[in-house]
Structure 1
Amino acid sequence: MNIIIIEDELKTAKSLENIILSLRPASKILGQYQSIEGSVAALLGGLQPDLIFMDIQLADGLSFEIFKSVNITCPVVFCTAFDEYSLEAFKSKGIDYVLKPFSKDDISQALRKVDELKNFFQQKVVPELGDLLSKLNTPSGKTSFLVFKNQKYATVQTDDIAFFYIRNDSTSIMCFDKQEFALNQSLDQVTASVAARQFFRVNRQYLVNFKAIKEVEHYFMRKLYVKLLIETPEKLLINKEKSHSFLTWMEER
């Protein structure tokens, strides 16, 4: 099987390549591409993959733009941390997704699904991109979270949340008014359920609201230091591999 990887985080792309080849040694990775422009050029230049692993948010925009320039006739597996509605849209159209951070088992399941749906993908690959793009351009994630505190249930509006973070191995909510609540969900689950335009997973411990960001500074080892309006227990640092994606996310407003 000939495969291409469209992913703007080089470390993630390499990890994905290693996992794929360990699961399917006979497969060949035809190339890795970090942008819409580079992907379109390669595909229009005669590249003919049997399968594409594709991130959604690339350095120069949403990867769905690729479909406007290229008639893709092979299965596509999206590797993303996008909101819940979009994931359901992909599944209902027969295109699988892998939620970041992914594991070897996640990729294995995706490959099995591609095998099972091979005949389907040959007939219809891409969802109705116009409708899907219009939905992706608006925050369509959860609007509130159910919390329990002082023996009472209450709802916290997502817009009122400055950041989610892991505290004592559990997920907590910190609101702009500095109220804090425990949440009975993993940070991975929360990341998948909120709007990707509104929240960014800066590292394994923190998921921050765009409106909570005060300023961003360059830090040692090409990292970024993110300062929020609400003080955090530790410094929020973004590694160099993720810095470009974060800055692109901030710019796309």
Structure 2
Amino acid sequence: MNIVIIEDELKTARSLENMLRQLRPLAKITGPYQSVEESVEALSAGPQPDLIFMDIQLADGLSFEIFKSVEIVCPVIFCTAFDEYSLEAFKRNGVDYVLKPFSKEDIAGALDKVDDLKNFFQQKAIPDLSELLSRMAPQAEKTSFLVFKHQKYTTVQTANIAFFYIRNETSMIMCFDGQEFSLSQSLDQIAASVSQKQFFRMNRQYLVNFSAIKEIEHYFMRKLYVKLVIETPDQLLINKEKAPAFLGWMENR
């Protein structure tokens, strides 16, 4: 396997290379190429690699510019500190989107996804499009939200959010420290973007962080009453139909 690394941070590139040499000891690894210009020159000069690990923000611009000058037909694993480019990445041969700082397990998972896709095409003469798209769908989960308050923009780390809820038809963030922020996204959109292992949609009004749950009590009509470590504007109840799924989520951590 021939692997190319496109990364402008040399320390990160060397760390990635060391991980790859442990995970794929027989692979030939070239790079790192630190700029769009250098990457275009290298990819134009030789045969196509089997796989590219590509940072998005390079020394002279976004790596998406490379695709305008070179036809890339191999899979690309994007490694970046920013989650807002995921949609564009999956339009550009992206098979995975790894957020920095990444671990050896993250890289191993990305390589496994490449292997799965290769096996998929080898086993099926005519690929099933829906199955293929589900395999290639972005898996990156939001690690922060951009918010606006007091005439200033700031970011709120997802790990610091106790729960999301609806107030006056507006999506709100409630942080563990009691700070509140409004969001333009719907609660459905938010639920789809955060970790389903970490957050549970209690009802139409609340999306709650596992770390915020203090205790659970049985309630009337076989409902569950959930108490959080921080007070909620409304009584937090889960109906009897959703209770088994919630308890299963709580148990299977």
TM superposition score normalised by structure 2 = 0.49
> Larger radius of gyration, structure 1 or 2?
2
TM superposition score normalised by structure 1 = 0.49
